[in-house]
Chains A and B, each alone.
Chain A
């Protein structure tokens, strides 16, 4: 009886869950797949699968896996300096006007949705309408928004022309267009009102009617975000077959334009909620690919020991900086910041904290060292490198009025100087880096400590509230120069666009947690770095390059952050089942592996 009860309990578990999570009734091939085989990976963009999520690319938990069953117009290349280079997605080719005033898209002639209906220009236009409700960069309804489209024209069944509003152009207009998700109008058609485009036209005007139209369009955003198509109709290489809480199964879309070159027949997405699960999957040899994941050295060793596992590395436009709250003393003094920079051995810090995923920053420019070399050329070498130099550090501290008493540095008024750096607890590499920094500072006579915060949301809240003297901060988020310098001279340092005009909040107020003043001294002259950054949104060519040089020098001399390490994009691949993965420094490494697959790169191992 007891054994029967135990078995009954387990059978009950099976029976109750047996029919849950299915999104279709088509039987899977079973086993390890057939023909091209089964490809196993994770979705690096959305940790945590959710069977309740709609098949909706705009929904943060949507079961639309980018590159697999969710498509963009085109896939951006990981170019060092140019954000406007792409691989084909929904569009097969395109023409960009020389002055960036328009882009004309030509869709793949033979591409069809997974239900057999053709992908048309009307689908693209409709999807752009959906994008307007979400307020994307190129499709913004705010008057005067930079880089916004002024017109979307269906030229023919496979051609769409999108024109930029040249009253306030942006060099990222094309990128904004290409990053748009494309969904089938015949599935999503009920989401938008029939008069949407008339409403949009009205929204671009002035006055009460325009305001009302904008409100109506904005109100559609929640409806779009929540929309749940009854089944997956995809223009990508796969469609979602079914899910359970821990795995999702996608099967090949035979109507995809490049189906003949799509290697796998099926894709399995695995659930994860943290890096540890990814490590375990990799160690077990379960994943054919995993995107960038922070990995300690000892774990990396175990991962690479697993048969078939390999690591592909490339450029990642992300750097880590140690940011100062300049509204607090003594960090309001540039000499203190410079002195600290001279005391930090970035090579040692990176070796300890991020040996696999980072490379020591050459110096502080606000830009990852690779694009910095492109943008700045020989001028990069002319910047102060802030190599470890205790003597120079002491000179800077003394210039700031600090005193060294009994081997310890004190503030000008003689009170002890307590250096506290804050980091979020879940970020193991940041913690290691912070500890390495404080260890070096302590050795130099500074009373330094690391304080951790429970999680990232709390860390960011307290950071924004100005509670921290020093905290770690991601910078150099490119490739667009405007995006890069927004991290140093944007909202976090007081500059924001209000009513179409650039405003600066006083140090320590209205979100200016970095506490920077409106103007700083660079080479003896006053510079407004926020203004320069704002200009980058529309500048191009030599003007762009000149501004970048000015900002790099500003960051280097004023040091709102000390750039510690520049991240390396570390991708994991396993060649036991599939080959043809991108090689080191490929410009596809930042795209999901679904993009590699749809471009025909990944093949079943023979």
Chain B
């Protein structure tokens, strides 16, 4: 337990430093983004028929919510707010805290990403084992090739293809959205079914985008483990094939947990494209809106949340690695 606590403390310290660095860098980068959202808002209002004078006043009121003061003062205010877990107010939705906006959007990204990643991980790992064991056979070849192909296809291309197939050619899935509003939210079959239906395409995209990587990585790892002495020894002792399979899988899977953590971060980044294509309003779509509207507070909050998610994922993966790998847990590996 002491070793575990030390590892956890170390990770948290490093994670905190990373968060602070990213927060600082993103703050100044965001403020350097050029563009005049006030002018864009003004143009929108006059196009809708508002008089120039009224439009100007409306814009001035709206941007009264924007941060004021020098850049350094804004930074100090931002960081002090961060210490209070106050990310400021959204410019797009005046009067609503950025935290509220972020967390209401986050679940629509986090859960599909996790579901897709988990799905791809499980299937990829299993298929990777088969691909490795049967690498000299036809099935092994097919699995390996499928992994290579999917691994090379960008997420947004997969999204477009899936969208085209299942919403146009075979229109059995919704084109956009998170759930059918006609079902009242609650733990009932209709609403849950609707959630699953609407999440299918995004989740499937996340899954297929990652599947190829998992199958290739697992195959490689299994091939390496298959050559280890303890496997040969197990086979010589006549241990059942199924048990040997589990020995192989468990050992081969260890390196993939680090990749799992990193892939989560990559998927969060890819969420921007996938949510845009499927009009699935999560963090990605919210970030696009924030950028288009130059909502600095919202942009900063989104980047912070993504950073924290990646850091936490890495910490969890590494700690979990120490749990499942006895050598790391006992500290023997350090020697």
Does any Cβ of A come within 8 Å of B279's Cβ? Answer: yes
> B281 touching A271 by the CB < 8 A rule?
yes
> B39 touching A135 by the CB < 8 A rule?
no
Who on chain A is nearest to B97 by CB? A52
> B61 touching A135 by the CB < 8 A rule?
yes
> A461 touching B179 by the CB < 8 A rule?
no
Contacting A at CB under 8 A, from B62-119, are 62, 64-65, 90, 92-96, 100-101, 104-105, 107-108, 111-112, 114-115, 118-119
CB distance from A308 to the nearest CB of B (A): 16
> A22 touching B184 by the CB < 8 A rule?
yes
> A137 touching B115 by the CB < 8 A rule?
no
Q: How far is the CA of A38 from the CA of B35 in the complex (A)?
A: 40
Who on chain B is nearest to A483 by CB? B51
Q: How far is the CA of A388 from the CA of B167 in the complex (A)?
A: 46
Does any Cβ of A come within 8 Å of B289's Cβ? Answer: yes
Q: How far is the CA of A547 from the CA of B185 in the complex (A)?
A: 59
> B62 touching A60 by the CB < 8 A rule?
yes
Residues of chain B with a CB closer than 8 A to A280's CB: 167, 175-176
Does any Cβ of B come within 8 Å of A45's Cβ? Answer: yes
Does any Cβ of B come within 8 Å of A165's Cβ? Answer: no
Contacting A at CB under 8 A, from B34-52, are 34-37, 39-41, 43, 46-52
CB distance from B109 to the nearest CB of A (A): 11
Who on chain A is nearest to B100 by CB? A52
Q: How far is the CA of A272 from the CA of B285 in the complex (A)?
A: 10
Residues of chain B with a CB closer than 8 A to A140's CB: 53, 57
Residues of chain A with a CB closer than 8 A to B292's CB: 455, 457
Mask for A49-61, Cβ within 8 A of B = 1, else 0?
A: 1111110000111
Which one, B48, B107, B175, contacts A284 given CB within 8 A? B175
Q: How many A-B residue pairs have CB under 8 A?
A: 243
Q: Could you say which of A101-109, A121-129, A222-230, A379-387 contacts chain B?
A: A222-230
A247-B93 contact in complex given A18-B185, A464-B36, C-beta closer than 8 Å: no
Contacting A at CB under 8 A, from B251-304, are 276, 279-282, 285, 288-289, 292-294
Does any Cβ of B come within 8 Å of A12's Cβ? Answer: yes
Does any Cβ of B come within 8 Å of A551's Cβ? Answer: no
Which one, B108, B126, B196, B288, contacts A245 given CB within 8 A? B108
> B182 touching A246 by the CB < 8 A rule?
no
> B192 touching A11 by the CB < 8 A rule?
yes
- Classify chain B's interface size: 35 or more
Who on chain B is nearest to A134 by CB? B61
> A30 touching B175 by the CB < 8 A rule?
no
Most chain B Cβ neighbours within 10 Å, of A38, A50, A480: A50
Mask for A231-265, Cβ within 8 A of B = 1, else 0?
A: 00000000000111111110000000000000000
> B36 touching A461 by the CB < 8 A rule?
yes
Does any Cβ of B come within 8 Å of A10's Cβ? Answer: yes
A456-B40 contact in complex given A20-B104, A222-B94, A270-B177, C-beta closer than 8 Å: yes
Does any Cβ of A come within 8 Å of B318's Cβ? Answer: no
> A226 touching B94 by the CB < 8 A rule?
yes
Interface residues of A (CB under 8 A from B): 2, 5-6, 9-22, 27-28, 30-33, 38, 45, 48-54, 59-61, 76, 133-137, 140, 145-146, 172, 175-176, 179, 221-222, 225-228, 242-249, 268, 270-273, 277, 280-281, 284, 286, 317-318, 454-458, 460-462, 464, 474, 477, 480, 482-483, 486, 490-491, 590
Closest 3 pairs between A and B when the two form their complex, measured CB to CB: A226-B95, A135-B57, A246-B177
User: What are 27 residue pairs bridging A and B, where the CB atoms are less than 8 Å apart in the complex?
Assistant: A9-B118, A13-B111, A13-B195, A17-B195, A19-B186, A20-B107, A21-B104, A28-B182, A48-B281, A49-B281, A52-B100, A52-B101, A54-B96, A60-B93, A76-B49, A135-B54, A222-B65, A226-B95, A226-B96, A227-B95, A228-B95, A245-B104, A246-B179, A248-B181, A249-B181, A270-B176, A461-B35
